[in-house]
Amino acid sequence: MTDREIIERIESLSVEEQDNLFELIRKRRSPQSGGFANEQRRTEIAEVGERLRQAVKMGTAQSFDNVEDLKLYLQANSEDEIDYIDRDGNPLTYHIKDLYPTEESYDYVTSQGKIFDTCLPDLVSKYAGEYVVFEDGRVIDNDLDEDVLLDRVWQTEFAISRRDRYHGIFCELVPEVLNA
């Protein structure tokens, strides 16, 4: 089996199955089970390296100019707050939940975002560089132009039902694959 075939098989697993697989590999490589600590560490580094390579390839990797910015990022609770710089250069901090009119709309968007991230490898292969209206692992519609897409979808029965319940629909840009 080639490395690519192994990666494709792993990517076809759910996130939970992937986590279980990584944990099983870590346990089997531990000194207590007859493996060597050096080998375990090399495996962990290789796994992190592969995840980083995939994140860069998908355009989802974080980049920092210096260690201090990285430390600040790691200390921040990204689920609770988000920082922006407005056009005038003024820092703005929002509590993410405050950006949504209801708890239900916040839950809808965050759950769709997690599903979107899980489906990203497949989405990139089909919709790289396009905006997609997405729900529960399924692309409802897509277009290169977000405004055109939203205008087309906004008056459909799908959008009307989500608009009434969640005050919106989930639309996201699928990143283009970087040449690795």
Domains of the chain, residue spans: 3-58, 67-97, 101-173
pLDDT at 82: 52
pLDDT at 144: 95
| 81-131 residue pLDDT tens | 555 555 566 665 555 555 566 778 888 888 888 899 889 888 998 999 999
| 62-85 residue pLDDT tens | 666 666 766 666 555 445 555 555
The dihedral sign for the CA sequence 125, 129, 134, 139 = negative
pTM of the model: 0.47
Q: Name the CA radius of gyration of the chain, rounded.
A: 20
What is d(CA 133, CA 171) in angstroms, rounded to the nearest whole number?
Answer: 4
Return the percentage of the chain with pLDDT > 70, whole number: 61
Name the more confident of 78 and 133.
133
Q: What angle (nearest 5°) sits at the alpha carbon of residue 52, between those of residues 12 and 131?
A: 65
Name the more confident of 137 and 89.
137
Q: For tokens 């050096």, what's the residue?
A: 38
Q: Is 75 exposed, middle or buried (0-12, 13-18, 19+ CB in 10 A)?
A: exposed
What is d(CA 132, CA 138) in angstroms, rounded to the nearest whole number?
Answer: 10
pLDDT at 43: 74
Asked if 124 and 174 touch (Cβ cutoff 8 Å), the reply is yes
